[in-house]
Amino acid sequence: MLTAKQHELLRFIQSRLESTGISPSFEEMKEALDLKSKSGVHRLISALEERGFIRRLPNRARALEVLKQPDSAVASGKPAAPANDTIVPLVKPAAQVAEPANDVIDVPLHGRIAAGAPIEAIEDHTSLPVPAALLGPGEHYALEVSGDSMIEAGIFDGDYALIKRTDTARDGEIVVALVNNEEATLKYLRRDSGRIRLDPANASYEPQIYSQDQVQVQGKLAGLLRRYH
């Protein structure tokens, strides 16, 4: 049987999904249940998930789906007996209940990348929530831009470059290029007489020219995120 708080949280999540199609945030759940901290919300979510009442949609922030409810939540005006733990599927009328809005995806954030002189290859791993509309199909990751060599392409210091993982690219595409297996940079890719030219988008910088075996394409630009302070 669900505890009172678990039942209250389940009803709150379902109500929010029905009205907006978007799962409530942990802060909203904390306030709705009058809890002191978000850790209490985490414990309730985990308990509901373990018992099969909800599931978290993978790689998406704020995306919960209600799978079922105790029969007390769907019976018409009849309170359930305290010992009754019967579970019935939750029926969601298609015309009334919106599917959870899968509008945010967590992508790996691999640190900072140079948009100037190359810097050491990125190694650290955290994540960044990204609107799904900015990403197409395929695997993506994010990098924080350092430097100003791509400002004429609208890429500024401190922006987050959203990168589609690939090892190939066409001439003229903006790519993440790994140089000599140790330095990564964000530049236009050009092939010139059997060599690789990495072009900046800033007249103050010179192109970087390498042999083909010195450069590995690790992805190409798919979008940008920018914070305004």
Taking each helix axis as running N to C, give the angle between helix 38-50 and helix 4-20, from 0 to 180 degrees, rounded to the nearest 10.
90
Marked catalytic residue, from 187, 193, 204, 220: 187
Would you say 185 and 119 are in contact if contact means Cβ atoms under 8 Å apart? yes
Sequence-distant (6+) residues with CB within 8 A of 75 are none
Q: What is the pLDDT along the chain (229 residues), one digit of tens a residue?
A: 678 888 888 888 888 888 777 778 778 888 888 888 777 887 888 888 888 888 877 655 557 888 887 754 443 344 443 434 434 444 444 444 444 444 678 888 887 887 765 555 565 568 888 877 778 788 888 898 988 999 999 999 989 999 999 999 999 999 999 999 888 899 999 998 889 999 999 999 999 999 999 999 999 999 888 876 5
187 carries an active-site annotation: yes
CATH class of domain segment(s) 4-89: mainly alpha
| Domain boundary assignment for the chain | 4-89, 104-225
Marked catalytic residue, from 23, 30, 146, 149: 149
Dig out the tokens for 34 from the structure.
Answer: 């009058």
Which stretches does DSSP call E strand in 84-139?
Answer: 87-89, 104-114, 119-120, 126-131
149 carries an active-site annotation: yes
Candidates 3.30.360.10, 3.90.1150.10, 1.10.3720.10, 2.10.109.10; CATH matching 104-225: 2.10.109.10
C-beta neighbour count of 112 within 10 angstroms:
18
